[in-house]
Structure formats: structure tokens, C-alpha cells
Amino acid sequence: MNRKKVFIVVLEVFTALLMILFFFPFVMVILNAAKENSEIIQNPMAWPEKFSNIFTNVIDIIGRDNINYFQSFGYSVLITVVSLVAIGVFSAMAAWVLVRTKKSYSVIIFLLFLSGMVIPFQVVMLPLVRLLQTLKDLTGIPFRTTIHGIILAYIGFGAPLSVFMFHGFIKSIPTDIEEAAIIDGCSKPQVFFRIILPILKPIFVTMLVLNGMWIWNDYLLPVLVLGKGTSIQTLPLSVANLAGFYDKEWSLILTSVLMASVPVVILFLFAQKHIIKGMTSGAIK
């Protein structure tokens, strides 16, 4: 066996080990979601006695008043969908203008967007809360414990990465297409929505999945903006209600985590082709 075949075998074994490592937490969630609380405390690594317990746990979660699963699910869907659409459209428009504007200030603005990717969220946590309160004092419009407040925050934190991704992709689009559309009578908005946006479909889907997983699973930003125990609760906040100070219902916690992860897994499976295409198209063109 030559060195090349040995290297391929070693690489395949290493890839298989990585796959097992990454899938292990998800498998543990599935196994423990099919257990009762006493089974998890006794041996979380053991095989569940009855897999049918998972349906019992699901029914128990749906009936819990401190979770309001369907209401929290609806709020999570609404916040995620509106935030993703706003981030996608606004970031694509900003990146397009920055790429096509050959001015020095466009580079400065782009660098400001990039700076948002390197500043840790923990640094701006408290200033964000104060900013939302200041906006309420200036405008009279409440931004805390509101849907539009959390969506506005997600747009701000999701824009830097999205602008960076769109910026690199749009640079590979020839300007001749836009010039031909303008000659045919298209206005600037028509050029963007009819010409540029359809071309951005692969990278747009990639952006939707990456930001969608973050927004759907996020806990820290909703707890800062929405707060715990308020009328508007996302799924991560509702799941946290199962973890008390003295008692933690691990079977229900892990079952609710599994239920919350199913939509993201389904989204990823359907969009993986576009994700790979979006990651590679900008480099190939």
C-alpha cells in the first residue's frame, strides 16, 4: 500500500472519529429524552428502558403552563423569520451598494461592518440594554419586552457577517449585467430585486441557515431584551423554566431541546445543497 492510500485511509478514519464526536451529544439527547428523570440521574449513559417515554415527555411538555410550548414556538418562528428576511434583504442591499460604490468611504463603512464580527457580544450586553432604554426615552416607543425590539437587535448583530458574505459574492458578479438592465429601462431598485437578488440565491440560503440556527437557539439576547417570565417568550427561554434552583427535570429539558432542534435539522437537510454551493461559488467565479 503506497503512501497516498495510507493517507486516504487515515483521513477517512479521522473523519469517522470526528463524525462520532460531533454526533455524540445529539445521540445522548435522544437517548435521555426517552427516559424518566430517575433513569437519567441513575445513569445518563445507559440505554432507555422504553423509547415510548419520549411521547409521554412530549405530552407532558405541551401541557405545562410554565412553558406554553405552542405559544413560545410561534414567537420563535415569528422572530426568526422576520429577522432573517430583514437581515438578508438589508445586508444584501448594503453589500451591493458598498461593492458598486468606488469611494474611499465605502471601504471605511465595510470595515466598520467587519468590526462588528470581532467585538464579543459580552462587551455590548449592558450598553445594549441602556441603548434600548434610551430609545424608549427619546421616541416613547418601548423596545424591551417587545417583538420589534428583539428583531431590531438581531438585525444589528446579524448584519456584519451577512454583509461580509454578500460582499465577497457580489464582487464576482460582472457589472455588465446591471448595465444591460439599466439600458433596458430598469431602475436601481429593479436592478437589485430582479437581477442581483436572484443571483444571490445560493449565498442567501447559506446566510439564512447560519443566522437561522443562531437566532432559533439563542438564549442570551432574548433574556436580555425580552426577560424571563414575560408574556413574550422564545423556546430557549421556555425551556429554561424547567430548570429550577433546587430541582431540574432533565427528562423534560432534554425532550424540549430535542423538539426545538428538529426544525433546524430539517431546515439544514433541505438547504445543505445550497449551503455548499453558496460557500464555494464565490471562490470559483
Give the residue-averaged pLDDT of 107-119: 87
Residue recorded with cell 448595465: 179
Q: Which residues pair with 243 in a beta bridge?
A: 248
Give the residue-averaged pLDDT of 195-206: 86
* pLDDT value at 4 more than 80: no
Give the residue-averaged pLDDT of 2-16: 85
Residue 14: pLDDT band by 50, 70, 90 thresholds? very high
Residue type, 90: F
Give the residue-averaged pLDDT of 223-244: 83
* 210-233: pLDDT as tens digits: 888 889 988 889 998 988 777 888
Give the residue-averaged pLDDT of 128-154: 88
pLDDT computed for residue 168 by the predictor = 86
Among 39-43, 64-68, 142-146, 265-269, which range has the highest average pLDDT? 142-146
pLDDT computed for residue 78 by the predictor = 94
pLDDT computed for residue 169 by the predictor = 87
Residue type, 209: V
* pLDDT value at 282 more than 60: no
pLDDT computed for residue 116 by the predictor = 85
Distance between CA 34 and CA 147 in Å, rounded?
Answer: 34
Give the residue-averaged pLDDT of 32-49: 82
pLDDT computed for residue 25 by the predictor = 86
**Which of the residue ranges 87-96, 140-149, 259-268 would you say has the lowest mean pLDDT?**
259-268
**CA distances to 39, 58, 120, 241 from 45, in Å:** 10, 21, 35, 25
Residue 138: pLDDT band by 50, 70, 90 thresholds? confident
Residue 135: pLDDT band by 50, 70, 90 thresholds? confident
Report the mean per-residue pLDDT for the chain. 84
Distance between CA 220 and CA 178 in Å, rounded?
Answer: 42
**Which of the residue ranges 9-18, 19-28, 63-72, 148-157 would you say has the lowest mean pLDDT?**
63-72
Distance between CA 145 and CA 210 in Å, rounded?
Answer: 25
Residue 79: pLDDT band by 50, 70, 90 thresholds? very high
Q: What percent of the chain has pLDDT over 70?
A: 93
Q: Which CATH number fits domain 64-284: 2.60.210.10, 1.20.120.1770, 1.10.3720.10, 2.60.120.200?
A: 1.10.3720.10
* pLDDT value at 279 more than 60: no
Domain ranges in the chain are 64-284
Residue-wise burial string across 103-130, b where 16 or more C-beta atoms lie within 10 A, e elsewhere? eeeeeebbeebeebeeeeeeeeeeebee
197 vs 244 pLDDT, higher one: 197
Residue 283: pLDDT band by 50, 70, 90 thresholds? very low
What is the pTM for the complete model shown? 0.84
Q: Cβ of 92: how many Cβ atoms within 10 Å?
A: 25
Give the residue-averaged pLDDT of 128-157: 89
